[in-house]
Amino acid sequence: MTGERIETLALLDEAVGAGCRLGVACRELGLSIRTVERWRRVPNGGEDQRRGPKEKPSHALTEAERAEVVRVANEPEYRSCGPKQIVPRLADLGIYIASESSFYRILRQDNLIVPRGACRPRTVIRPEEIIAKGPNELWSWDITYLPAAVKGTFYYLYLFVDVWSRRIMKAEVRATECADAASELIRAAYAEHGVEPDTLRLHSDNGSPMKGGTTLATMQALGIVPSFSRPSVSDDNPYSEALFRTIKYAPAYPRKPFESLEAAWAWVERFVAWYNHEHLHSAIGFVTPDQRHRGADLAVFANRRAVYEAAQQRNPARWSGRTREWDAPAVVPLNPREPETRARASASRRLGAMPATSMAPTEGSRCAPTSHRRQVDEVLAS
């Protein structure tokens, strides 16, 4: 262990010497700065210098007694109890095997300090980690309620959003919530945006329209891979939920219920046009979702950087360092499992110094260009 720590410190020194910040280097290795500082304060990388007794204590438990501790702890009447419960119950029966601390030590060494028997919690498998590297790779969709004029009744807003670009790909208001309507809208969105077969993943929660037989059959026929949230976990579909929050807290959102289905649909159309083409989204570098989806964000970033560099040349005393980096995340993760995934996703950036045509689709082509994806793959591989 000491050698590993010394080697880790040497790697950190090498990275910092090459110009990397210590915090970024520590994050890549899954360490905190405090841990590295503690290792540096003591010799040998902070390894525990205690060696313990040289000889085995004469009163130590025998191997038979250790085996008896493990056997008793796994008996049907005790397997749902911890040592705090096992020891007094044995004492009531006139039995002493070992102390409570010895029970804990032996069970910990055998990896048995876990819920056993009936008290074992259910195992929940986390959803698969998905990383979107470009448009039309990962969509998220959900349904939200819009209040109708009659109290207790609602209209239903079906909304599909591209996770990478945050662009609303399809939105429609219906009077009912069902799998048939969802299937129809999936087909319409798929055809409208020219999605290539077997390239799109569609994420949703576990609502009945999302997991209905008609919906799943439609996705299978179109070559769309479904992805679902965990049951009863509200934040596994964050991009759709965040968009619903933006909709219902928008200043233009009506404070009174919608008078009719047509009125609700008219308002949603205006919102979608504003959101896709006017709203400067903070998560994608303050460009519109439509600009990022088409690749026009690179030209915007390049123009902003040129403006700032010109301002710095006119008044260099107003800048103590570099100008603002106008950029946006190059990849967007959904349900990242490890902190390293989040750190790597945030470190991969789309800069405005690239040519504006490096991502923009050519005339008549589908909206799934590949040049920027090669760039992202190279960044992740490095």
CB 83 within 8 A of CB 103: yes
Distance CA 18, CA 12 (A): 10
pLDDT at 274: 96
Name residue 158's beta-bridge partners. Answer: 143, 172
Phi, psi of 350 (to 5 degrees): -100, 115
Q: How many CB atoms lie within 10 A of CB 251?
A: 4
User: Under DSSP, is residue 51 helix (H, G, I), strand (E, B) or coil?
Assistant: coil
- For tokens 């799998």, what's the residue? 179
Distance CA 262, CA 359 (A): 37
- For tokens 């085995």, what's the residue? 56
* Domains, the chain, ordered by start: 2-46 (no CATH), 63-119 (no CATH), 130-265 (3.30.420.10), 283-381 (no CATH)
What tens digit of pLDDT does each residue of 220-278 get? 999 999 998 877 776 778 999 999 999 999 999 999 999 999 999 999 999 999 999 99
Checking phi first, is residue 111 left (phi over 0); if not, alpha (psi -120 to 50) or beta? Answer: left
pLDDT at 119: 65
Tokens coding 341? 């995934």
335: nearest Cα among 133, 130, 141: 130
Identify the helix (H) or strand (E) that includes residue 65: helix 63-73
pLDDT at 354: 39
Phi, psi of 203 (to 5 degrees): -100, 145
Distance CA 156, CA 208 (A): 14
CB 9 within 8 A of CB 52: no
Distance CA 19, CA 98 (A): 56
CA-to-CA separations, 13 to 27, 42, 84, 197, in angstroms, rounded: 14, 17, 47, 48
For the chain of 382 residues, list the mean pLDDT of each consecutive stretch of 10.
78 91 90 89 68 81 92 88 91 93 92 72 74 94 95 96 96 95 95 92 92 94 90 80 95 94 96 96 95 95 94 91 88 78 62 40 37 47 52
Q: How many CB atoms lie within 10 A of CB 9?
A: 15
Q: How many CB atoms lie within 10 A of CB 228?
A: 17
